[in-house]
Amino acid sequence: MTDQTTDQAELAPGRAAEMLESGDAQLVDVREAYEWEAGRVEGASHIPLATLPARATEIDSERPVILQCRTGARSRMATDALRASGYDAYNLEGGLERWVEDGLPLTPTDGTVATARPDNS
C-alpha cells in the first residue's frame, strides 16, 4: 500500500462526525476495555484490536467503517487490514485524542480519554 492510499484512508474528526451523524458510516473502537469504559464516541461498536480478526464479520462490509483508538496508531493497523480484506475502511485521524481536542463529545458526558491502564491493586 502506498503512502497516498494510506493518507486517503484518514478522516478528520469533523468529517467522521458528519458521516456518523448522517448514518453514512459505522464506527469501531479498537481500544482495550478500560479505555472504552473511560470514554467513547456515542454509537461506536467495541472490538478490541486483538479480537478484530475473529470478529470482523460483526462489521457491516456493505457500509463504510471508521476505526478509532486513542491516537490513531492501532486503528491505522486495523484500517489497513480491513481495506486489504475489501472493506471501505477509514482511520480516525489523531484518534480519540484529536476527537476531543476538536470539541466533539464523549459518552458518558464526563468521559475521558484513558492514557494508562488503571492500577488493579
Pairwise CA distance, residues 24 & 42, whole Å: 15
Burial category of 109 from C-beta neighbours within 10 Å (exposed 0-12, middle 13-18, buried 19 and up):
exposed
| Among 88, 90, 79, residue whose Cα is nearest residue 13 | 90
Q: Which of 69, 82, 89, 92 is flagged as catalytic?
A: 69
- Phi, psi (5° rounding) for residue 29? -95, 120
Is residue 69 among the annotated active site residues? yes
Catalytic residues: 69
